C-alpha cells in the first residue's frame, strides 16, 4: 500500500510517498530557509502564495523520487490542523483535487500527531508514552495511551521554545534559524549567567505548562548589559531552556508512572536537549526516543506515515466537505475526524 | 494619528488594568497596531485584552510569531492576533472591519485603512516599567471612554 502525504501547515510545502512494505520512498520539502537568509530573517512573500507556487513542483518531484504515478497511490494523507489557515487550505485543497481527479480516499492527519508518530518510521515505541513536541510554533506535552488516545498535559502560555531560540539568535545578531546556530555556538561557551527556569517550581495540575517569554526578556537584559561574550550568553540560555523541558517531562513521567518518552518537532534536533534527556533517562531507567534528524523539522513523510497508520488501523477517511482547521488540540482530533463515535 | 493617552506603568498588573479598561470601550471592529521592541509587552497586552473580552477557559493567548495568525473565540466574537515579525506582509482584508484584530510588528499601510485603528507604542523603561502611548483614528469614542 502506498500513501501520498501532503503538509503545508506553516512555511514549508512538503510532499512524500510512504510504502507500507518498502518504507519512505520520497520526502520532498521546499524549505524557505534560503529565502529567509537572503532577506535577513524576513521572507518577502506571503506564506500562502509560496505554497501555491510550490505545491505542484514539490508533488511532481515527490512522485518522481518515489518512482510512482498517482494511479499507484492508494490514499492521500493530508495535514488538516493545526496551522496557519491560509496555508493549510492550499495543501488540503490540493489533496481534495487529487482525490477527486484520481478517485482516491483522503485521510486526515494532525500536524502534532504526525511529528510524534514520525518516530515509528524507524522504531516501534511501546505504549503508553509521553510526547514532548517542541518547535518554532509549538511546545506541548501529551500522554499517548495508544494511537488516537491522547491526553493533553500542558503547553506554552506565551512563546514556543523554538521561537525563543530564534529571538535570542536575533538579539545576538546570529542569523536564522536560531536553533542550530545557538546549539553550535553554545558548545564554545560557559554558563556564566544563571537565567530563570520559568514555571519550574509550579505545583498542582497546571505545572506541565511552559513559559519562555520571561526567559527571552532575561536574555535581552543580559545582552544589553554588554558584559558577556555571545557564546556564553548562548550557553546560558540553552542551559535554561533545555533544563525546563527536561525537568517538566520527567516530572510528568514520574507523576503518571510512564517509562517511555518521545521527543519530537524541530527542537528535538537540539544536541543539548538530546544529551540531557538521555542522561536523565539513564538515571531513572526510562527509555527516551528521538526521530532521525531528517524527520525532526516539518516534512510530509511523517504525514504519509501517520495517514497510512490511520487508514490501515482505523479506516478513517473524510469527504470533500471536511474543512481544515487553524486550531485543534491533539486530544480533540480523533473526535473531529469521526464526530459520530 | 491622534494621540489619545500616554501612561507610565509600573508592572504587569498595571498593564492588565489598562487592557481591561480598553476592552470595555471596544465596538468590535478595531485594528490594534502594537509597536515596541522584543519583550516590550505586546503579546502580554494582547493576552490581557483578549482575556477580558471573555476568552474560553480552554484557550491560551500565545505568541503568533511562528503561526503568523492566531484566532481566539471570545464573547465579542473571533479575535485575530497577528505578527509580522518574520513576514513582510500578510493579507488581512478578509478579517478587518468585522473583528477585533491585533497586529504585532505591523506594516505601515494598515494605519491608512479607513477603519477604526488604535496604535499602541510600548517603550521599555526598566525590567517591569513601560511607557505606553495610545494613538487613534476613527475612534473618538475611545477618548471619551478612557478618560
Is residue A37 domain-resident? yes
Model confidence band, residue A46 (pLDDT cutoffs 50, 70, 90): low
The answer on A70 and A100 residing in a single domain is yes
Identify the pLDDT of residue A44: 41
Question: Is residue A174 scored above 90 in pLDDT?
Answer: yes
Name the minimum distance, in Å, from the CA of A49 to any CA of chain B: 10
Mutate to test the interface with B, among A46, A52, A115, A176 (most CBs of B within 10 A): A46
Is residue A84 domain-resident? yes
Model confidence band, residue B127 (pLDDT cutoffs 50, 70, 90): confident
Q: Mean pLDDT throughout A183-189?
A: 97
Is residue A121 domain-resident? no
Is residue A130 domain-resident? yes
The answer on A154 and A24 residing in a single domain is no
Q: Chain-wide mean pLDDT for chain A?
A: 93
**Which residue among B58, B60, B127 sits closest to A157, beta carbon to beta carbon?**
B60
Tracing cell 518510521 back to the chain, one arrives at A121
The answer on A110 and A207 residing in a single domain is no
Locate the chain A residue with the closest alpha carbon to B60: A157
Mutate to test the interface with A, among B51, B68, B81, B90 (most CBs of A within 10 A): B68
Tracing cell 490511520 back to the chain, one arrives at A310
Cα B39 from Cα A86, distance rounded (Å): 28
Answer whether B66 sits within 8 Å of A213, measured CB to CB: no
Is residue A238 domain-resident? yes
Is residue A95 domain-resident? yes
The answer on A283 and A306 residing in a single domain is no
Domains in chain A, number: 2
Listed in sequence order, the residues at least 6 apart from B58 whose beta carbon sits closer than 8 Å to its beta carbon are A329
- CA–CA distances in Å: residue A150 to residues A112, A266, B42: 11, 21, 33
Please, what is the end-to-end C-alpha distance for chain B in angstroms? Answer: 18
Question: Is residue A34 scored above 80 in pLDDT?
Answer: no
Chain B contact set for A326 (CB, 8 A): 69-71
Residue-range definition of the domain harbouring residue A144: 126-290
Identify the pLDDT of residue A251: 97
Question: Is residue B142 scored above 80 in pLDDT?
Answer: yes
Chain B contact set for A43 (CB, 8 A): 86-88
Q: What is the dihedral of CA A258, A259, A262, A268, to 10 degrees?
A: 110
The answer on A66 and A7 residing in a single domain is yes
For chain B, the domains span 2-145
Chain A contact set for B87 (CB, 8 A): 42-43, 46-47
**Which residue among B63, B66, B87 sits closest to A158, beta carbon to beta carbon?**
B63
Chain B contact set for A157 (CB, 8 A): 60, 62
**Each residue's pLDDT tens digit, B87-103:** 877 888 889 999 999 99
Cα B121 from Cα A55, distance rounded (Å): 39
| Kind and range of the H or E run holding A116 | helix A111-117
Q: Mean pLDDT throughout A4-12?
A: 93
Question: Is residue A43 scored above 90 in pLDDT?
Answer: no
For chain A, list residues whose CB is within 8 angstroms of any CB belonging to chain B.
Answer: 10, 36, 41-48, 83-86, 135-137, 155-160, 162-163, 166-167, 170-171, 213, 216-217, 220-221, 326-327, 329
For chain B, list residues whose CB is within 8 angstroms of any CB belonging to chain A.
Answer: 38-39, 43-44, 47, 58, 60, 62-63, 65-71, 86-91, 127
Q: Mean pLDDT throughout B43-53?
A: 96
Listed in sequence order, the residues at least 6 apart from A37 whose beta carbon sits closer than 8 Å to its beta carbon are A175, A176
Chain B contact set for A10 (CB, 8 A): 66-67
DSSP notation for A44-103: SS-HHHHHHHHHHHHHHHHHHHHT--GGG--EEEEEEESS-HHHHHHHHHHHHHHHHHHT
| Interface predicted TM-score (ipTM) of this complex, two decimals | 0.86
Cα A115 from Cα A10, distance rounded (Å): 13
Q: Mean pLDDT throughout B58-78?
A: 91
Chain B contact set for A136 (CB, 8 A): 65-66
Cα A340 from Cα B41, distance rounded (Å): 43
Q: Is A102 left (phi over 0), alpha (psi -120 to 50) or beta?
A: alpha
Answer whether A163 sits within 8 Å of B91, measured CB to CB: no
The answer on A65 and A137 residing in a single domain is no
Chain A contact set for B39 (CB, 8 A): 213, 216-217, 220
The answer on A262 and A164 residing in a single domain is yes
Cα A325 from Cα B80, distance rounded (Å): 15
Q: Which of A246-250, A263-267, B33-37, B91-95 has the lowest mean pLDDT?
A: B91-95
The answer on A154 and A60 residing in a single domain is no
Give the sign of the dihedral formed by CA B14, CA B20, CA B22, CA B25: negative
DSSP A206: G
Identify the pLDDT of residue A42: 38
Identify the pLDDT of residue A205: 79
Residue A29 φ/ψ, nearest 5 degrees: -125, 125
Share of chain A above pLDDT 90, in %: 86
Whole-prediction pTM: 0.92
The answer on A282 and A173 residing in a single domain is yes
CATH code at B2-145: 3.40.50.300
A/B interface, count of CB pairs below 8 Å: 79
- CA–CA distances in Å: residue A127 to residues A231, A259, A260, B35, B79: 40, 9, 8, 47, 38
Residue A82 sits in a domain whose CATH number is 3.30.420.40
Amino acid at each position: 500500500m502506498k500513501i501520498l502525504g501532503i503538509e503545508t501547515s506553516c512555511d514549508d510545502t512538503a510532499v512524500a510517498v510512504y510504502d507500507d512494505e518498502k518504507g519512505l520512498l520520497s520526502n520532498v520539502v521546499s524549505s524557505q530557509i534560503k529565502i529567509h537568509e537572503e532577506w535577513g530573517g524576513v521572507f518577502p512573500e506571503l506564506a500562502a502564495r509560496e505554497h501555491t507556487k510550490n505545491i505542484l513542483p514539490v508533488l511532481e518531484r515527490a512522485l518522481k523520487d518515489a518512482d510512482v504515478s498517482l494511479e499507484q497511490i492508494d490514499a492521500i494523507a493530508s495535514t488538516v490542523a493545526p496551522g496557519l489557515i491560509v496555508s493549510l487550505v492550499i495543501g488540503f485543497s490540493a489533496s481534495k483535487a487529487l482525490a477527486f481527479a484520481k478517485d482516491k480516499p483522503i485521510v486526515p492527519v494532525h500536524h502534532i500527531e504526525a511529528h510524534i508518530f514520525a518516530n515509528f518510521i524507524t522504531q516501534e515505541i511501546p505504549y503508553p508514552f509521553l510526547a514532548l513536541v517542541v518547535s518554532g510554533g509549538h511546545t506541548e506535552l501529551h500522554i499517548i495511551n495508544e494511537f488516537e488516545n491522547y491526553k493533553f498535559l500542558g503547553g506554552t502560555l506565551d512563546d514556543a521554545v523554538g521561537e525563543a531560540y530564534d529571538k535570542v539568535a536575533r538579539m545576538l545578531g546570529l542569523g536564522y534559524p536560531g536553533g542550530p546556530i545557538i546549539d553550535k555556538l553554545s558548545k564554545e561557551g560557559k554558563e556564566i549567567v544563571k537565567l530563570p527556569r520559568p514555571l519550574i517550581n509550579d505545583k498542582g495540575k497546571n505545572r506541565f505548562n511552559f513559559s519562555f517569554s520571561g526567559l527571552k526578556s532575561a536574555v535581552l537584559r543580559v545582552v544589553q548589559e554588554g558584559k558577556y561574550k555571545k557564546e556564553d550568553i548562548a550557553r546560558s540560555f540553552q542551559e535554561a531552556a533545555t533544563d525546563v523541558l527536561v525537568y517538566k517531562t520527567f516530572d510528568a513521567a514520574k507523576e503518571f508512572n510512564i517509562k517511555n518518552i518521545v521527543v519530537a518537532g524541530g527542537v528535538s534536533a537540539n544536541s543539548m536537549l538530546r544529551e540531557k534527556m538521555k542522561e536523565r533517562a539513564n538515571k531513572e531507567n526510562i527509555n527516551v526516543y528521538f526521530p532521525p534528524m531528517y524527520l525532526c523539522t516539518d516534512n510530509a513523510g511523517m504525514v504519509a506515515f501517520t495517514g497510512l497508520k490511520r487508514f490501515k488501523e482505523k479506516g478513517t477517511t473524510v469527504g470533500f466537505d471536511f474543512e481544515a482547521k487553524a486550531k485543534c488540540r491533539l486530544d480533540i482530533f480523533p473526535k473531529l475526524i469521526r464526530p459520530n463515535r | 494619528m491622534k494621540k489619545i493617552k500616554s501612561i507610565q506603568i509600573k508592572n504587569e498588573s498595571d498593564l492588565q488594568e489598562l487592557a481591561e479598561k480598553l476592552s470595555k470601550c471596544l465596538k468590535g471592529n478595531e485594528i490594534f497596531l502594537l509597536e515596541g521592541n522584543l519583550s516590550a509587552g505586546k503579546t502580554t497586552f494582547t493576552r490581557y485584552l483578549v482575556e477580558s473580552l471573555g476568552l474560553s477557559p480552554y484557550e491560551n493567548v500565545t505568541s503568533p510569531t511562528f503561526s503568523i495568525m492566531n484566532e481566539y473565540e471570545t464573547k465579542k466574537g473571533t479575535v485575530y492576533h497577528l505578527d509580522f515579525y518574520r513576514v513582510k506582509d500578510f493579507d488581512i482584508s478578509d478579517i478587518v472591519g468585522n473583528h477585533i484584530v491585533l497586529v504585532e510588528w505591523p506594516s505601515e499601510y494598515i494605519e491608512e485603512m479607513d477603519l477604526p485603528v488604535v496604535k499602541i507604542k510600548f517603550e521599555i523603561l526598566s525590567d517591569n516599567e513601560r511607557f505606553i502611548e495610545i494613538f487613534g483614528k476613527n475612534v473618538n469614542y475611545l477618548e471619551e471612554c478612557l478618560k
